Structure 1
Amino acid sequence: MRKSVLAAVIALSGLVSPAASAFDPDTPVGEKPEAFPITLGDEEDATIDLAFRTAFGLPKGAEPEAARTIDERSYHFRPVAIHLLEDNTGVLLSVGSLDEAGHSEGGLNAIHYLKSSPDGWVKQGEWIGLGATGTVGNGATSWAFSSLLGRNPYLITAGGGVWQGCAIGSAAVTELAPDGPVDRGSFTDGMSSGAGLGQTEQEYEGKIAAAVPDKSFTVAYTGTRSFKQEYVLKNGKYELVGKDQVPGC
């Protein structure tokens, strides 16, 4: 499962990219109205190079990829999604793959806050090590932004891996607070077994299907059997109510 990484917060500003306006491909417009269940996707946005260059301090025209050495390990980041907040702050999600990773080692996710201005994106802050990641050096493998969970928008990221024929995935919910993103908890978003010797064949998929903003959310599972699990916000973290009904590997 994903490796826990200490989130590093670096407040930075001052780098500017070419103009970001309502007609700039970096600025999402005409987004579809939100509804439950919250469905994660893995399609990478190919129009957000300008924001990525500002976030990582790359020169104009540079390829949208950046190398970082963190805790003496080398990661390569690429942009995958951006979300525009009401105050014209762009939230950029980039995923970093870990070089020479072992099976159980995860990558890293980077979140940047970028202010939209007539002169372009201006970097507001950088946070590395938040959200869910995959195994074999992968960052998040799917993601979604949602305004359905609280007064502040949320980023949901997911990742996982396969162990001897059993696959299991975890999703993290990260609040996009004005002062910076905060991980608020996680839940199992998928499980599949049966490919390994002696394993029971079963499969589950979980999606956030309802929420009381800033208080709780419900994950609905389908597959071998259907059920729901509730997570309640307590001391800043969403915690499962009762016993986890999703089998482990």
Structure 2
Amino acid sequence: MIRAAVSIAALAALAGCDMVPEKPPTPAPSHRATPVAAASSVPPAPAERLAAALRVVPVDKASRYAFGGDDRLIDTPSGPVLLRHGHVPDGSHADGGVIAAYYLRPQNDGFALVKAFPEAATSGSFGDLGKWSVSADFAAVPVLMVEGGGTWQGCTVGLTDLVALQPGGPASLASVTTSFDTSGMSPDSPETLTGSFADIVRDRGFTVRYEGTRAFAERYVRRGARFQPEGGESQVPGC
């Protein structure tokens, strides 16, 4: 009897309390929506851009030059320019090499040809030039540096031509003698000179420092469309 009374009292106490039973937890969704990544524009690889540029170059079956191997596509303030180095197979002493320039504009996923300059720069002998490169140091536009030259009756001269890739087309900035050697015609008392560029100030001037049988420097300054020796004439003799 006492145990039953206790149970009834406990039930009565629980009934008098404002107890709210806990709700079961909300089940988690069986799967979540995958966020969509923002679309991004991936630029084409350099090799793909070069291949697209080469596709718009006209084929000149009458050209005496053979191209390929070191083509370059560069960006200029006026748009992309494709540069191609050509040589004359089995060329004679009088034949030089060439740099061709093709001015392009973007079109769809590739390019369209705007202007073609098949002989933007020519130099060298026996069918080819020496070396070529592109510099951003000399002018506000990229500048071709083309090294060439040759030997005449034992006198060897090396020239470096600077050609600016202007919006309207390639334009000569200077032709500088960067090597001179008379050992082929005067073996007992040869004169040798080797010049290198220094102190370049864009669109204003540069210095050529010579070493060899003599050591001196020449300053070239911008006068109009070209760089010219400050004293009027170069001290380097010709053949």
Q: Tell me if the contact between 2:220 and 2:229 (Cα under 8 Å) persists in the aligned partners.
A: yes
Instruction: Work out whether 1:158 is the aligned partner of 2:180.
Output: no
**Count of aligned positions:** 197
Counterpart in 1 of 2:96?
106
Larger RCO: 1 or 2 (CA < 8 Å, sep 6+): 1
Counterpart in 1 of 2:238?
248
Counterpart in 2 of 1:5?
none
Q: 1:82 aligns with which of 54, 68, 72?
A: 72
Task: Detail structure 1 runs of 4+ shifted over 6 Å in the superposition.
Answer: none
CA shift, 1:90, in A, is 3.0
Q: Which runs of 5+ in 2 are unaligned?
A: 1-41
Counterpart in 2 of 1:137?
127
- Which runs of structure 2 are paired with 1:202-221 in the superposition (5 Å)? 202-221=191-210
AA aligned to 2:83 is: L
What CA distance in whole angstroms lies between the structure 2 residues aligned with 1:135 and 1:205?
19
Among the aligned pairs, what percent are the same residue? 28
What CA distance in whole angstroms lies between the structure 1 residues aligned with 2:214 and 2:182?
14
Aligned CA RMSD, in angstroms, stands at 2.9
Counterpart in 2 of 1:61?
none
SS in structure 2 at match of 1:200: coil
What CA distance in whole angstroms lies between the structure 1 residues aligned with 2:61 and 2:130?
19
Q: TM-score, normalised by structure 2?
A: 0.68
AA aligned to 1:94 is: R
Q: 1:24 aligns with which of 46, 60, 78?
A: 46
Counterpart in 1 of 2:178?
189
| Per-residue deviation, residues 166-207 of structure 1 (Å, max 9, x unmatched) | 321111111111222211221112222313354633432222
SS in structure 1 at match of 2:68: strand
Counterpart in 1 of 2:27?
none
CA shift, 1:110, in A, is 1.0
What CA distance in whole angstroms lies between the structure 2 residues aligned with 1:117 and 1:88?
15
Q: Which runs of 5+ in 1 are unaligned?
A: 1-19, 28-47, 58-65
